[in-house]
Amino acid sequence: MQAVQQWLADHGAVMIGDLPREVEHRLANGEFNDKKFRHIIVDEFQDLTESEARIVSWLRTDGGGLVGLGDKKQSIYSFRGNMKRALDVIQELVSEEVADHTMNLCQRCPREIVSLANAVMALENEPLVSARQENGQSHNIHFKTPSEETSGMAAEIHRVYRSNQEAKHLILVTRRQWGYDLKNEIKRIDPDAIVHTMFAEDVLETWAAREAFIFLSIIGDPEDSASLRDWISYQKPKKDNSAFRAPERNSDAYLRFRETHGTLTMDKVRKIVSGSINLSGRGSKNIILRLTRLYELLGKIPDQGTLKEKFSAALNENLWINPQSARIELEKDDLSRMKREVERLITEAGDNPNALKIIEGLRFQIATKQPVGEEMTAEQGTRIVTLWGAKGLTADYVYIISLCDESLPGFWNTGSSGLSQAEYLDEQRRLLYVSLTRGKKSLVITRAQTIHKGDMLALGLAIPKGTTWHRVNLSVCRFFREIPREILQPSTAFENWEHILT
């Protein structure tokens, strides 16, 4: 930990995750005594980290009340370190006896949807009870291919929206690309259709957007050693903008450079590019290529002009997108969203916007998973989000698109999730549960039956071992396989479906 702190100090950086620990440490040592409260209510308590839960307990005055509301079946944020024990940890935080109350009435969903959600989470033995008297709709549909799924569901979703525009319409997708495909098809059917894609969590997923973001950080503060170090952590990607991660982040060459010259600065960048400073070690060629590219890109940003004009030039998609990219539509959308967010921050800053403040604002939006370039409050039209963005949203008509076993749970990777395979599967089951319980009237679940193997690779789907055919069969999500037929009927072919009642 001391080595990490030394690196952060040398590079003028801090870790967002250190903030709760710092607050907790100071509270435990008697600071902020004037900031305590007699009554504290925490909703979605299961989403807190253990450090955040302890902070909540420290903020309570002696004898004060603490109410934790939550549902361990909705714990889906292990990536941010949320508590595995959820509400059970409260008793350890307070000396008083904790009163445990059950809130099992579902005011949102009709019986049909509640029954399906309960069946998915049957092992928890905490069934919901629908408080709704009216009947709902549950549909399970399959298509031959993803393209047929997109065209068929786009037409159906648009039909339902046109017949009931006062209602709320929500599309949940297991992959962002499928969301963009649906949006494009709906707009093709009706160019005036209002469709919002709201993918707040993944704006830096593509290489084009990630590289542009680091470049913006360097423009905001050219002497930002952390951003300069990040810039040289990559290698020249392939023509389709894949394989951009360099082995070990080119750390061997950077450590050798740092021992002799210290952290990177723009003056040192110029000397490396000109050959005045020589690099050695594994990854040195990657670093030289990356810094040469940085120097060339900086030359394309106008010295004169407004901050908005400079940032607009920096986010010109021609600088970042290769026409041969495998994810060109995603890259364009991510860059467009980032550009809109920067323009919003500049407008809010008033007459004298500061470049570093604008970049810090953008970083904050991304780090806290706030909307980037999107209006999350939009009520009109149809909203499209990933399953991970479903929490907190409700709608009359809900569609879970492309739900197959290859997309959920998909493949387990302990290196990226930090979870055991069993823990990962449990969290994916909870993610499905959260998604199922968004609908007030109608729930439609769809999947394609086959897909090109190449598309599976591009979408990050789990590919069955031993697959050799170009087309691969997609399986029913495993969390549905043991559900009784009276709760979830086998899927119906789209051409035989009677469609949604509106």
| pLDDT tens sequence across 365-384 | 887 767 788 654 455 789 99
153, 161 Cβ separation under 8 angstroms? no
Residue 210 pLDDT greater than 90, yes or no: yes
- 140 phi, psi to nearest 5 deg: -125, 110
Please indicate, yes or no, whether the overall pTM of this predicted structure exceeds 0.85: no
How many Å apart are CA 140 and CA 399, to the nearest integer? Answer: 10
What is the pLDDT confidence band of residue 229, given thresholds at 50, 70 and 90?
A: very high
Q: What does the pLDDT look like over 43-57, one tens digit per residue?
A: 988 888 888 899 998
Residue 74 pLDDT greater than 90, yes or no: no
Burial of 196 (0-12, 13-18, 19+ CB in 10 A): middle
- Note the Cα 139 to chain centre separation in Å: 27
Retrieve residue 328's tokens: 């060109």
Q: What does the pLDDT look like over 272-319, one tens digit per residue?
A: 999 999 999 999 999 999 999 999 999 999 988 899 999 999 999 999
Q: What does the pLDDT look like over 309-326, one tens digit per residue?
A: 999 999 999 999 998 887
**Whole-number pLDDT of residue 379:** 59
How many Å apart are CA 342 and CA 340, to the nearest integer? Answer: 5
Retrieve residue 304's tokens: 């004169």
- Between 370 and 329, whose confidence is greater? 329
**Whole-number pLDDT of residue 376:** 47
Residue 271 pLDDT greater than 90, yes or no: yes
What is the pLDDT confidence band of residue 476, given thresholds at 50, 70 and 90?
A: very high
Mean pLDDT of 94-114: 91
- Note the Cα 353 to chain centre separation in Å: 29
Mean pLDDT of 394-418: 88
**Whole-number pLDDT of residue 362:** 94
What is the pLDDT confidence band of residue 82, given thresholds at 50, 70 and 90?
A: low
Retrieve residue 315's tokens: 């986010």
> Under 8 Å CB-to-CB from 338, ≥6 apart: which residues?
203, 209, 212, 213, 216, 315, 362, 372, 373
Mean pLDDT of 8-32: 85
> Under 8 Å CB-to-CB from 234, ≥6 apart: which residues?
211, 244, 245, 246, 249, 250, 286, 290
Percent of the chain scored above 90 by pLDDT? 60
For the ranges 134-138, 237-241, 312-316, the maximum mean pLDDT occurs at 312-316
What is the pLDDT confidence band of residue 21, given thresholds at 50, 70 and 90?
A: confident
How many Å apart are CA 220 and CA 499, to the nearest integer? Answer: 52
**Whole-number pLDDT of residue 77:** 67
How many Å apart are CA 162 and CA 160, to the nearest integer? Answer: 6
Mean pLDDT of 206-224: 95
DSSP state of 6: H
Residue 151 pLDDT greater than 80, yes or no: yes
- Between 228 and 98, whose confidence is greater? 228
How many Å apart are CA 258 and CA 182, to the nearest integer? Answer: 48
- Between 469 and 245, whose confidence is greater? 245
Name the average pLDDT for the chain. Answer: 90
Q: What does the pLDDT look like over 344-369, one tens digit per residue?
A: 999 999 988 999 999 999 998 887 76
Residue 128 pLDDT greater than 70, yes or no: yes
How many Å apart are CA 449 and CA 463, to the nearest integer? Answer: 14
